Each structure stands twice: as C-alpha cells, then as structure tokens.
Amino acid sequence: MLEVARYEGERRLVVAGAITAAACFYGAMFVALTPSFTNVDLDAILESYPDQLVVGFGIESLNSLAGLLSVELYQFGWVLVLGLYLAYTTASLVAGGIESGRLDTLLAAPVSRARVVAETFASILVPILAVNAVTPVVIYVGGRLIDDPVNTQNLIALHILAVPYLLCCAAVGLAFSVFLPNERLAQRGAVGVLVMAFLVRTLLTGTDYAVVERLTPMHYFDPSAILLDGVYDLGGAAVLLVVTTVLVVASQLRFRRMDIT
C-alpha cells in the first residue's frame, strides 16, 4: 500500500530539507534584525504607504517581531513564494512524467492511473509538512532569545492552516499538469494563474470589487489575521481542502482518459 507515495516522497526529502532550511534562515534573519528596529517607528513609516498596499498585503503593524514576520515571511514567503513553488513543482508531476517516460514504466506495474495521480500528489506533503513543522520552532526559539516572543498558539495555528492553502496551490499545478499538453506549458500556466490570483487579491481587497478576490485561494488564508489577531478561518481552510479534493479528482478523471503513448 502507498508504494508510489513512499517512493515519490523519498525523492522529495532532499528538496524538503532545502526548502525548510531556506525558510528557517529567512525567518531567523528577521528575528535577528528585529532588535535593530527598536528605535525606528516603523508604524509611522507604514502610515505613508498607499492604503491599498497596506490593506492588500494585510499589513497591520511592523513594530514587533510578529508584525514583521506576518508580512515579510508569511505574506511573501508562504502565500506567494512557497505557493508558487508548489504549483510549479506539481505542474510537472504528470506532464513531466509523460515526457520523460517515467509514467510509462510506472503504469507497467499493476497500479491504476487514479492511484498514481493521488499518491504522487500526496508525496507533495513531504516538503509541506517539513517546512511547517520546523520553521515555527525556529521562530519560537528566536523570539524568546530576543525577548519578543510570538504568540505560540497563533504561530502553531498559522502553520496548521498553511497546509490546506499550500495543498490547494499544489492542486492547481496538478490540474494544469493533466489538462495542458506539455510540462513547460503546465508550469507556466499554474504559476501565471496563482500570480494573477495574488494580484487580484492584493488590488481588490477592501474595494467595491472585493467579491472577486473570494475566488482566489489567498482569500482563505490570512497570516496577519492569524498571527496578530488570533483569527482562525476554519471555514476558509475547509473551502481550500474541498477545492483541493475537486482538483485532484478532476485530475484523476482526466488522466484516466489520456493517451500517453
């Protein structure tokens, strides 16, 4: 059972380690920089920013470690960079496997196409879980060392609620992987859609057209609200998981009908 998931998961261990190390280093960098901002009123500087920029990026305060991390590490690192990376990676799962001939070899074994898609997608949990398990430990310890601790409960909740969001981004890439004819197009399509979604969310939040940004995955995962206000959008997480399931099932149905010879 789950041989495909285990095999694909083991192939992602090195990447998972690299992503986790990079995220920890990036987070630790802001922890180390926070004391140097003690005599700088960053919130006063923030008031000079355009209102839409502040609202769109969910910037509430920069005069604390939690405020800096919510913007610099989570809004950009988790919501944008990590989401794009996972979509880009999963966009090659099927399309890249077909082009390299790897799927031909795999399907020669007694395993269904639907199972191949599901278990290959499940392997993406390795980097997702690794980065969300280790990074909060570094942030917690760093906050204690500089005497500016981040609320532990909110920090844990943020990294738990990040999992459905990142899975949804990965599912977008998977869908492009089976619905577009080659790997390069699938990767470009997945990244393009998520970049557009990020821009829509940033530009329309708080405007008369805010209803449109409800169609983006970013609407259902707000790191600033979680980390600074303790607002946990469990309904949003459920929406992301439902969308993920729909995209994976649609990808399975599409892959079952594909001619890969």
pLDDT in tens, 133-170: 999 999 999 999 988 889 999 999 999 999 999 999 99
Percent of the chain with pLDDT over 90: 54
Tell me how far apart the alpha carbons of residues 95 and 16 are, in angstroms, rounded to a whole number. 22
Amino acid identity, position 36 = S
Query: What is 65-132 written as a DSSP string?
Result: HHHHIIIIIIIIIIIIIIHHHHHHHHTTTTHHHHHHTHHHHHHTSS--HHHHHHHHHHTTHHHHHHHH
* Cβ neighbours of residue 203 closer than 8 Å, sequence gap 6 or more: 52, 56
Q: Are 243 and 171 in contact (CB under 8 A)?
A: yes
Q: Which domain holds residue 185?
A: 3-257
Give this prediction's pTM: 0.91
Structure tokens, 254: 């599409």
- Band of pLDDT at residue 68, cut at 50, 70 and 90: confident
Q: Count structural domains, the chain.
A: 1
**What gap in Å lies between CA 160 and CA 154, rounded to an integer?**
10
- What pLDDT is attached to residue 84? 96
> Is the per-residue pLDDT at 2 higher than 90?
no
- Cite the beta strand spans of the chain per DSSP E: none
- For residue range 205-248, what is the model confidence (pLDDT) as tens digits? 878 888 888 999 999 999 999 999 999 999 999 999 999 999 99
